[in-house]
Amino acid sequence: MTALPAPKLRHIYRLDADLDALIDLGDTPQGHRRIVALTGGRAEGPDFHAQLLATGGADWQIVRSSGSSVADIRYTLETDRGALLYVQSHGVRHGKPDVLARLAAGEDVDPSEYTFRTTVTIETSAPELAWLNDGVFIAVGARQPSGVSYDVYLVE
């Protein structure tokens, strides 16, 4: 059998996002639902620089009984050249119970103490960024007391 190429990662952008106060819907039929609005921020990368638009972007989370949270993140970026990017991320943040409790309490926890990973899809109509539409992306996230950061990578 022919050997398959090992995937490589290429950094696309770092998003630093500001967050609104958490909305806790409580236990729903899907699980413990929380919504955290993304209110602004910046994405910086080698191919574009963009602003996170405050257009209803949020993380519609389900918190498991273990304390892990399942992320359903959607937001819009506008590049400095005016291109719009619609971004969706799905993934999970998990770790030891005491670490997740510290995060839930709003403490500044080192990202090496927990795992926060998502898959990412990006849609755009901008011809110069059309390659994003066909990419397979992953992200590594970190939660701070008043915001969140994501490093988004293209899997090559």
Strand, helix or coil at 146?
coil
Parse the chain into domains and list their residue ranges: 9-155
Instruction: Kindly state the average pLDDT of the residues 4-18.
Output: 97
Per-residue model confidence as pLDDT tens digits over 19-74 = 999 999 999 999 999 999 999 999 999 999 999 999 889 999 999 988 899 999 99
The pLDDT value given to residue 36: 94
The pLDDT value given to residue 104: 84
How far does Cα 114 stand from its chain's mean position? Answer: 15
CA distance 155 to 135: 7
Strand-pair partners of 92: 70, 117
pTM of this prediction? 0.93
CA distances (Å), origin 129, targets 12, 135, 138, 152: 12, 11, 18, 15
Per-residue model confidence as pLDDT tens digits over 130-147 = 999 999 999 999 998 889
CATH fold for the domain made of 9-155: Porin (2.40.160)
Per-residue model confidence as pLDDT tens digits over 100-122 = 999 888 899 999 999 999 999 99
Instruction: Name residues whose C-beta falls within 8 Å of residue 134's C-beta, 6 or more positions apart in sequence.
Output: none
Instruction: Kindly state the average pLDDT of the residues 80-91.
Output: 98
CA distances (Å), origin 111, targets 8, 72, 90, 106: 22, 19, 18, 14
